[in-house]
């Protein structure tokens, strides 16, 4: 495995960078076995190893800590120069950073729960300052792109220049199909705001199970992600953490070779279109949601008007509304005719709904 700054190096390649390895290091034998298998897969450039495990509730297996780091250092030391594995592990405190540096670990990642806490991210960035470490920043559990960007910016400001983002989905509410919802629009927004930043996808923590991993990975490739982080264990069913979502190295190899990589100009344009269309879908959903909010207010207005016997159509209010909307639209660079026509339609619907409600009330009163 090469020794250049990893994410920087990968930028000029046309292949996804794969980070793979066990959710947790569980024993020396498991580490050695998985390292051997993953070093045989040329696309795997970094082996992820959970050393301190952030469990939601105490009492489960919480990782082997420094013992695991010692095994990782020994495994590296015993490999031939050209076959030396590169390891990454999660750090959540400055003490973790010190331990990782003492044991010559190559890269670190900031986990989802830590990204949510800017105090802690700042402490980690300070601890990592000047180390030249490659750093991956997972998104926080909530879909707040600014929190994710903020953590990345804290790393960049600390002088770390080999930084990548990892999309691991969002912990919004219990969902039957995924452990964490992908909400692809969030990493797309990150890409739009920080175009040079490599983004990897962690389909394992999005899915929470094995079956959706190939399609999630393909989606990440189709959207132009730079690589994948996939949990891989020699015997997933026996894993002490995240047993349901880990792949064997052979399954990982199958997943990688099944990926369709879009290379030609047409395919690149296609990929760009997909990105833009996702943004259009998102904007349209927002438009529809706001129209429904507006209509809800219109119904409340109809209620008030009917109580005080006001006519539905109030010409003065309509004129003022239209001229205000046209002025706002001009400020946004929107075409007058289009906005006028749009608001006439919206207003007509509002009048229709109010009249229908009044009519209903009249009929109910007459009975």
Residues 6+ away with beta carbon under 8 Å from 133: 100, 101, 106, 107, 108, 160, 162
Closest distance to ligand PEP from the beta carbon of 358 (Å)? 54
CB count in 10 Å sphere of residue 200: 28
Closest distance of CB 87 from Mn ion, Å = 16
Question: CB 245 → Mn ion: shortest distance, Å?
Answer: 7
Question: Shortest gap between Cβ of 37 and Mn ion (angstroms)?
Answer: 18
With CB under 5 to 8 Å by kind, the binding choice for 111 among Mn ion, ligand PEP, none is ligand PEP
Identify whether the C-beta of residue 236 lies closer than 8 Å to the C-beta of residue 243.
yes
Q: Which does 210 bind (CB under 5 to 8 A by kind): ligand PEP, Mn ion, none?
A: none
Counting contacts by CB under 6 A, is residue 23 touching ligand PEP? Answer: yes
Strands 134-138 and 107-110: parallel
Q: Is 112 in the site for ligand PEP (CB under 6 A)?
A: yes
Question: Of 27, 142, 198, 162, which Cα lies nearest the Cα of 88?
Answer: 162
* Contact flag: residue 54 with ligand PEP (CB under 6 A): yes
Minimum CB distance to ligand PEP, residue 229 (Å)? 7
Q: Is the dihedral of CA 277, 281, 282, 288 positive or negative?
A: positive
CB of 58 to ligand PEP, least distance (A): 15
**Residue number with CB closer to ligand PEP (154 or 168):** 168
Beta carbons within 10 angstroms of residue 77's beta carbon: 9
Helical spans, DSSP H, in the chain = 6-10, 28-39, 66-78, 94-102, 112-115, 118-128, 145-157, 185-193, 203-207, 213-222, 249-257, 265-307, 315-331, 336-366
Phi, psi of 25 (to 5 degrees): -75, 130
Looking only at residues 213 through 252 of this chain, which bind Mn ion when binding is defined by CB under 5 A? 242
- Nearer of residues 54 and 104 to ligand PEP, judged by Cβ: 54
Q: Which residue is nearest to ligand PEP (CB)?
A: 111
Smallest gap from residue 23 Cβ to ligand PEP (A):
5
By beta-carbon proximity to ligand PEP, the closer residue of 52 and 343 is 52
Interaction mask 191-210, ligand PEP, x per CB under 6 A: --------------x-----
**Whose Cβ is closer to Mn ion: residue 203's or residue 227's?**
203
Q: By CB under 6 A, is residue 50 in contact with ligand PEP? A: yes
Residue 112 interaction partner, one of Mn ion, ligand PEP, none, beta carbon < 5-8 Å per kind: ligand PEP
When asked if residue 21 is in the footprint of ligand PEP (CB under 6 A), the reply is no
CA-to-CA separations, 294 to 93, 151, 306, 325, 331, in angstroms, rounded: 47, 36, 18, 14, 22
What whole-number distance in Å separates Cα of residue 137 and Cα of residue 140?
A: 9
Rounded to whole angstroms, the Cα distance separating 276 from 315 reads 40
Considering the complex, state which of residue 88 and residue 339 has its C-beta at the smaller distance from ligand PEP: 88
* Per-residue contact flags (x/-) with Mn ion for residues 6 to 45, judged by CB under 5 A: -----------------x----------------------
User: CA Rg, the chain, in Å?
Assistant: 27
91 vs 66: CA distance, rounded Å? 12
**Contacting positions for ligand PEP (CB under 6 A):** 23, 50, 54, 111-112, 138, 168, 205
């Amino acid at each position: 495995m090469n020794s250049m700054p990893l994410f920087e190096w990968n930028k000029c390649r046309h292949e996804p960078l794969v980070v793979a390895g066990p959710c947790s290091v569980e024993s020396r034998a498991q580490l050695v076995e998985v390292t051997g298998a993953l070093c045989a897969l040329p696309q795997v450039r970094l082996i992820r190893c959970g050393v301190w495990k952030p469990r939601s509730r105490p009492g489960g297996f919480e990782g082997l800590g420094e013992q695991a780091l010692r095994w990782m250092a020994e495994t590296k030391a015993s490999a031939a120069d050209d076959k030396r594995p590169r390891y990454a592990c999660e750090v959540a405190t400055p003490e973790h950073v010190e331990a990782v540096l003492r044991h010559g670990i190559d890269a670190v990642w900031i986990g989802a729960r830590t990204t949510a806490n800017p105090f802690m991210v700042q402490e980690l960035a300070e601890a990592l300052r000047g180390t030249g470490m490659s750093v991956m920043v997972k998104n926080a559990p909530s879909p707040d792109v600014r929190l994710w960007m903020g953590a990345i910016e804290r790393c960049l400001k600390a002088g770390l220049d080999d930084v990548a983002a990892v999309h691991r989905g969002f912990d919004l509410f219990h969902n039957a199909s995924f452990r964490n919802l992908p909400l692809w629009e969030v990493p797309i927004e990150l890409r739009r705001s920080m175009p040079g930043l490599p983004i990897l996808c962690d389909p394992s923590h999005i899915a929470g199970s094995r079956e959706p991993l190939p399609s999630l990975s393909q989606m990440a490739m189709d959207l132009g992600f730079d690589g994948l982080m996939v949990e891989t264990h020699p015997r997933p069913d026996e894993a002490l953490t995240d047993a349901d979502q880990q792949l064997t190295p052979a399954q990982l190899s199958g997943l990688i070779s099944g990926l369709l990589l879009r290379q030609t100009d047409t395919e690149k344009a296609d990929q760009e279109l997909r990105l833009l269309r996702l943004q259009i879908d998102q904007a349209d959903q927002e438009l529809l949601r706001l129209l429904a909010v507006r209509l809800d207010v219109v119904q409340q207005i109809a209620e008030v008007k009917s109580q005080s016997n006001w006519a539905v159509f109030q010409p003065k209010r309509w004129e003022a509304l239209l001229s205000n909307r046209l002025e706002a639209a001009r400020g946004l660079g929107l075409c007058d005719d289009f906005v006028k026509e749009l608001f006439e339609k919206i207003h007509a619907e509002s009048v229709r709904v109010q009249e229908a409600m009044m009519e209903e009330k009249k009929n109910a009163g007459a009975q």
